[in-house]
Structure 1
Amino acid sequence: MIKSNHRTRAIAALGVTTLALGLAACGDSDDGGEGGIADTYTVASDTSFVPFEFEEDGEYVGFDIDIINAIADEVGFEVDLATTNFDGIIPGLQTGTFDIAIAGITITEDRAQTVDFTNPYYKSGLRIGVAADNTEIQGVEDLEGKRVASRLGSTSAAYIEENIEGATANTYEQLDQMYLSVEGGGSDAVLYDAPNVEYYILTTGEDSLKVVGDLLEAQDYGIAVAQGNDELLAAMNEALAGMIEDGTYAEIFEKWFGSEPEWLDELAESAS
């Protein structure tokens, strides 16, 4: 069952630079000395990644928010939620502004050199979205030489630059700007994480955009943790594994995506 949680306290919807001025190193963490699990951790998120994290009726909600709250309950710490732009999350973990980050962050070799990741908690990929009346772009091969919208600092932006010949990556800090760029004609297509592209097109963009092509680049999302917090990382992995085993994870997933994930067994294997 989903556990009730009233631990999350939003700090501010500010950029990482402003947050750095207002928060002590390692956020609000206080473990009374080296080692151990702190009473409170500053958790960074970019709350524009629907349905993983977003603002609704003045509160931050979403799949990621429920996941981190359930983990915090199990491990035994409070969450101070700090919102920032996605491209400020990894630097914020490196400088000690944040302790933990959850924001649909793809686990990559480059990122794993500077922050630690929990075991995967979501399996994703990249999707292409185009204007509803576009008949020219049917798949990734048709993006050559095109203007492709994506998110600043994302793996999808890197994919465009590294894999699509002649394409221009139009990158934006806010997700809605990506879709508006395609709807307004500033970009020929959007390439971004599958769940967000699919959700946007099913809701806000149902009359203006459509999904084309195959799922690209299978990806794992992980919860990022500032390096040096090995005990915290181990405790979070244990909590995540327990949530998958006892059904809490599946219940949270179904709440936000309408059904249990088809890859739940694979996720359980990676968590064990």
Structure 2
Amino acid sequence: MKKWLSLLMMSMLVVGMLAACGTSDDSANGSAGEGGKTEGEKVLTMGTSADYPPFEYIDTAKSEDIIGFDVDLAKAIAKELGYEVKVQDIDFNGLIPAIQAGKVDFVLAGMTPTEERKKNVDFSDIYYTAKHMIVTPKDSGIKTVEDLKGKTVGVQVGSIQEGKAEELKKTVDFKVENRNRIPELVQEMKSGRFDAAIIEDTVAKGFFEKEKELTGFNISDASADEAGSAIAFPKESKLTKDFNRVLNEMKENGELEKLIVKWFGGEQ
């Protein structure tokens, strides 16, 4: 009887070891999806720069979670496609390198699809269009672009506003300095190191609610689409087509407009 029990236990142990090995092999041989994850995980990593309210930011008074219009949009699209979203905070000028390095599956960060960026990543259709704004302290005396002559103007590194500043410099002589994050631009103006900054109007208006000493005016621009925002993907990513399909469905059924009203307070 003891010999029979020993043989039975040995058989069960062998079967268990074989089952474990089989499970390990199945996992190792699983096909990798976007961002190096197995397809079974169904999680996408979104890269963003969480300094850009109301697009993406952290309300530290409530939690350490990244929230905002772009985050809600990403989650809505991903849910329709059967994915969950993990949000990763990265300095704006590091977002495209993060895509190229495979660290994120897509970027949603109020990014404009410029021709230069299109050389490195693919973009979705435009999902939101805003305007450039010159932001200044209320007592600066700066009322027009021409008033920037001889001044120091701040912009975010790698942003479309950085390019806009260089364009404006062709007709008005001023100094351009850049910083990684929008709050840094605001702080430099408050400390007197910057006379003005160029910030997207929707984002600037969000700062005006807290920074009462700041004001601003929109830059007249013949190119209405210049500051349009789109979602960035790795070159040839299958997600581009999938996200575009859901994005356009949201435009048609009113879901995108609901998010715009929630985060920006009204229609564009």
Using structure 1 for the length normalisation, give the TM-score: 0.79
More off after superposition, 212-221 vs 69-78: 212-221
Counterpart selection for 2:199 from 176, 192, 195? 192
Aligned to 2:254: 247
Give, in angstroms, the shift of residue 122 of structure 1: 0.4
Which residue identity lines up with residue 167 of structure 1 in the other structure? F
Counterpart CA distance in 2 for 1:54 and 1:27 is 23
The question of 1:113 aligning with 2:119 is answered yes
* Matched residue count: 229
Q: How does 1:22-171 map to 2 (within 5 A)?
A: 27=35, 29-31=37-39, 39-56=42-59, 57-135=63-141, 137-164=142-169, 165-171=172-178
Aligned to 1:180: 187
Question: 1:45 deviation in Å?
Answer: 0.7
- Using the TM superposition, give the Cα deviation of residue 30 of structure 1 relative to its aligned residue in structure 2, in angstroms: 2.6
Q: What are the superposed Cα offsets for residues 68-109 of structure 1, whole Å, 9 maximum, x if unpaired?
A: 000001122221211111110011111211110001101101
SS of structure 2 residue aligned to 1:128: strand
Name the residue aligned to 1:211: 216
State the Cα distance separating 1:213 from its structure 2 match.
4.8
Distance 1:173 1:215 in 2: 25
Letter matched to residue 37 of structure 2: S
Task: Answer yes or no: is the 8 Å Cα contact 2:134–2:198 preserved in 1.
Answer: yes
1:221 aligns with 2:229: yes
Q: Percent identity?
A: 30
- Which structure: larger Rg? 2
Contact 1:129–1:189, Cα closer than 8 Å, also in 2: yes
Aligned pair in 2 of structure 1 residues 255, 157: CA closer, same or farther (>3 Å)? Answer: same
Work out the CA distance in 2 between the residues paired with 1:45 and 1:213.
Answer: 25
Partner of 2:21: none
SS of the aligned residue for 1:253 comes to helix
What is the CA deviation profile of residues 130-173 of structure 1, one whole-angstrom value per residue up to 9, with x for unaligned ones? 111122x2122222332001111111112212331432212111
> Runs (4+) of structure 1 moved beyond 2 Å?
24-32, 212-218
Report the TM-score when normalising by structure 2: 0.80
C-alpha deviation, 1:29, in angstroms: 3.2
Instruction: Give the Cα–Cα distance (whole angstroms) in 2 for the partners of residues 213 and 42 of structure 1.
Output: 34
Distance 1:48 1:25, change over 3 A: farther
1:25 and 1:145 map into 2 onto residues whose CA distance is: 52
The CA distance in 2 between the partners of 1:227 and 1:121, in whole Å, is 19
Which structure shows the bigger proportion of residues in strand conformation? 1
Query: What is the deviation of 1:26?
Result: 5.2
Contact 1:28–1:41 (CA<8 Å) still a contact in 2?
no
